[in-house]
């Protein structure tokens, strides 16, 4: 198999998480009696362009089907982050009622709702029908499709070209990253701007975030590599922000190479220098990741077995994709973690793939009075701990397994 970007043969294994069911496919009670599909989960490093990537991929239409239950609007901190972004970018690009904004992966309209409030015309592109339906209920126009060259070419010729194309956590989730970036080049207005947010590979490696690896996540990106991919498509990165979402992400700003109306920020060279100083352009940097992941695995299993022997009650919070990778790689089932609590009504009553742990609503916490709550979406641990403050009454503790086992 060859690199998705530079076509170099992939020979270096970054991490092998063996196999796992698709992370976002929660199961119904009936489905528990049916065979479950597991797919290999092995990640490679390209030693030429340093794109870290999944080896084989399922057809994306199999993964992003009706069952895809992630609704962005259920996270309060994510909504706040999105609103802040809309205010910032509106000011920076001087967007107004004559502008046109397109969001790729617009989900349930969690972000575009803020542009709509400002009377800035916008359009969402979203392949999952159930989330797109919610966005439409909010009065947001949505094209229900996968973004790429084909989709852009199918738009009618007199369609307005966007002043801003944005995508949060989509770049790393597209199977064909070259086609995606080529689509951006084709669609963007002459002096338009693209912003894309994605988890920073540097944070993944330095903070042991192996649980952010799952089938829907095809590429793991450094700034160096994404810059090469954009440059190969005549798009120039002229600014970058390092932001805290998803355990440390990058927000890149791109423009047409030919567009000379924008100044290049110093952030670009600073971040390139940082990555080079850490040797992200050498194989050495990527070694030993498996060992680090295994260390977390053994610690978590050790902890759970100890609690089991002492008859303590352990539950988990947050039925998110990253939790599934962790639970499945550690081989944890319902005997070690009784239930997982999630506020999304779309998930309650279902079961986590692989581990088959039941997903329940928050009222169970007061009923069960657990001794420990494992926070699976560690990236929003502060928000969750605040929300569950009342568990202090019976001395319940929080467990955060990543970046290193922590009991609070």
Q: Which stretch binds Zn ion (CB under 5 A): 48-56, 154-162, 241-249, 262-270?
A: 48-56
- Where does this chain touch Zn ion (CB under 5 A) — which range of 6-14, 85-93, 229-237, 360-368? 6-14
Beta carbons of 174 and 223 less than 8 angstroms apart: no
The region of 40-48, 71-79, 313-321, 395-403 touching Zn ion under the rule CB under 5 A is 40-48
Torsion of CA 237, 239, 245, 249, to 10 degrees: 50
One of 41, 43, 49, 384 touching Zn ion (CB under 5 A): 49
Across the strands, what pairs with 166? 103, 195
Can you tell me which of 29, 48, 92, 257 binds Zn ion, judged by CB under 5 A?
A: 48
Alpha helices in 64-105 (DSSP H): 76-92
Q: At what angle do helices 289-309 and 321-330 cross, to 10 degrees?
A: 80
Q: Which stretch binds Zn ion (CB under 5 A): 21-29, 39-47, 149-157, 291-299?
A: 39-47
Nearer to Zn ion, 51 or 304 (CB): 51
> Which is nearer to Zn ion, 11 or 159 (by Cβ)?
11
Q: How far is the CB of 104 from Zn ion (least distance, A)?
A: 23
Counting contacts by CB under 5 A, is residue 226 touching Zn ion? no
The stretch among 51-59, 70-78, 148-156, 157-165 that binds Zn ion (CB under 5 A) is 51-59
Nearest residue (CB) to Zn ion, 3 versus 193: 3
What does the CA dihedral 185, 144, 69, 112 come to, rounded to 10 degrees?
A: 60
Residue with smaller CB distance to Zn ion, 83 or 233? 233
Q: Which is nearer to Zn ion, 224 or 399 (CB)?
A: 224
Return the number of the residue (51 or 132) whose C-beta is nearest Zn ion. 51
Q: Report the nearest approach of Zn ion to the CB of residue 52 (Å).
A: 10
**Ramachandran angles phi, psi of 327, nearest 5°:** -60, -40
Q: Candidates 1-9, 201-209, 235-243, 380-388: pick the segment binding Zn ion (CB under 5 A).
A: 1-9
Cα angle 192, 194, 199; round to 5: 170
Tell me if 252 contacts Zn ion by CB under 5 A: no
Q: Which one, 5 or 14, has the nearer CB to Zn ion?
A: 5
Closer by beta carbon to Zn ion, 6 or else 343: 6
**Residue 163 φ then ψ, to 5°:** -85, -25
Q: How many chain residues interact with Zn ion (CB under 5 A)?
A: 8
Q: How far is the CB of 275 from Zn ion (least distance, A)?
A: 16
Q: Please name which of 112, 108, 105, 249 lies closest in space to residue 174, comparing C-alpha atoms.
A: 105
Strand arrangement, sheet containing 122-125: 141-143, 122-125, 101-104, 164-168, 193-199, 249-256, 235-243
Q: Which stretch binds Zn ion (CB under 5 A): 8-16, 196-204, 226-234, 348-356?
A: 8-16
54 binds Zn ion (CB under 5 A): no
Minimum distance, C-beta of residue 217 to Zn ion, in the bound complex (Å): 17
In terms of CB distance, is 24 or 53 closer to Zn ion? 53
Residue with Cβ nearer Zn ion (232 or 405): 232
Whole-number Cα distances in Å, 177 to 52, 53, 174, 220: 12, 11, 6, 11
Is 46 a binding residue for Zn ion by CB under 5 A? The answer is yes
Q: How far is the CB of 46 from Zn ion (least distance, A)?
A: 3
Which CB atom, from 52 or from 188, has the smaller least distance to Zn ion?
52
Is 3 near Zn ion (CB under 5 A)? yes
> Under the criterion CB under 5 A, does residue 8 sit at the interface with Zn ion?
yes
Rounded (10°) angle between helices 223-231 and 266-277: 120
Phi and psi at 299, nearest 5°, equal -65, -45
Spatial contact of 296 and 404, defined as CB atoms under 8 Å apart:
yes
* 129: its two tokens: 């029908």
User: Do 355 and 324 form a contact (C-beta atoms < 8 A)?
Assistant: yes
| Other beta carbons within 10 Å of 132 | 22
Query: Which of residues 6, 243, 385, 405 is near Zn ion by CB under 5 A?
Result: 6
For 170-200, the three-class secondary structure string (H helix, E strand, C coil) is: CHHHCCCHHHHHHHHHHHCCCCCEEEEEEEE
We find the least distance from the C-beta atom of residue 10 to Zn ion, in angstroms, to be 8
- Looking at the DSSP bridge assignments, the partners of residue 372 are 314, 397
Query: Where do contacts with Zn ion occur on this chain (CB under 5 A)?
Result: 3, 5-6, 8, 46, 48-49, 51
């Amino acid at each position: 198999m060859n690199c998705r970007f530079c076509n170099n043969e992939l020979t270096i294994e970054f991490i092998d998480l063996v196999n796992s069911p698709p992370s976002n496919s929660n199961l119904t009670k009936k489905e528990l009696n049916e065979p479950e599909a597991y797919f290999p989960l092995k990640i490679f490093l390209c030693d030429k362009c340093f794109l870290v990537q999944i080896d084989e991929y399922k057809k994306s239409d199999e993964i992003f089907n009706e069952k895809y239950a992630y609704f962005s609007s259920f996270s309060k901190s994510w909504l706040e982050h999105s609103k802040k972004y809309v205010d910032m970018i509106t000011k920076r690009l001087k967007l107004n009622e004559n502008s046109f904004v397109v969001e790729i992966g617009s989900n349930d309209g969690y972000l575009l709702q803020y542009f709509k409030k400002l009377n800035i015309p916008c359009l969402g592109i979203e392949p999952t029908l159930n989330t797109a339906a919610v966005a439409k209920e909010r009065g947001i126009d949505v094209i229900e499709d996968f973004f790429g060259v084909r989709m852009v070419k199918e738009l009618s010729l007199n369609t307005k070209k966007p002043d801003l194309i944005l995508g949060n956590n989509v770049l790393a989730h597209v199977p064909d990253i070259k086609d995606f970036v080529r689509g951006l080049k084709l669609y963007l207005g002459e002096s338009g701007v693209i912003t894309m947010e994605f988890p920073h590979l540097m944070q993944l490696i330095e903070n042991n975030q192996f649980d952010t690896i799952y089938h829907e996540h095809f590429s793991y990106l450094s700034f160096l590599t994404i810059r090469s991919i954009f440059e190969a498509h005549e798009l120039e990165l002229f600014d970058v922000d390092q932001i805290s979402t998803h355990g440390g992400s990058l927000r890149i700003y791109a423009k047409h190479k030919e567009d000379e109306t924008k100044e290049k920020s110093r952030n670009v060279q600073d971040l390139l220098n940082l990555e080079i100083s850490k040797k992200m352009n050498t194989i050495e940097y990527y070694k030993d990741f498996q060992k680090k992941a295994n260390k977390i695995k053994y610690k978590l299993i050790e902890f759970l077995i100890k609690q089991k022997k002492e008859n303590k009650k352990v539950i988990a919070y947050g039925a998110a994709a990253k939790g599934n990778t962790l639970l499945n790689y550690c081989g944890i089932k319902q005997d070690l973690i009784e239930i997982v609590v999630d506020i999304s009504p779309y998930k309650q009553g279902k079961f986590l793939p692989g581990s088959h742990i039941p997903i329940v609503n928050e009222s169970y916490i007061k009923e069960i009075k657990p001794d420990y709550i494992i926070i699976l979406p560690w990236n929003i641990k502060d928000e969750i701990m605040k929300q569950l403050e009342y568990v202090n009454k019976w001395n319940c503790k929080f467990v955060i397994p990543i970046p290193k086992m922590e009991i609070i």
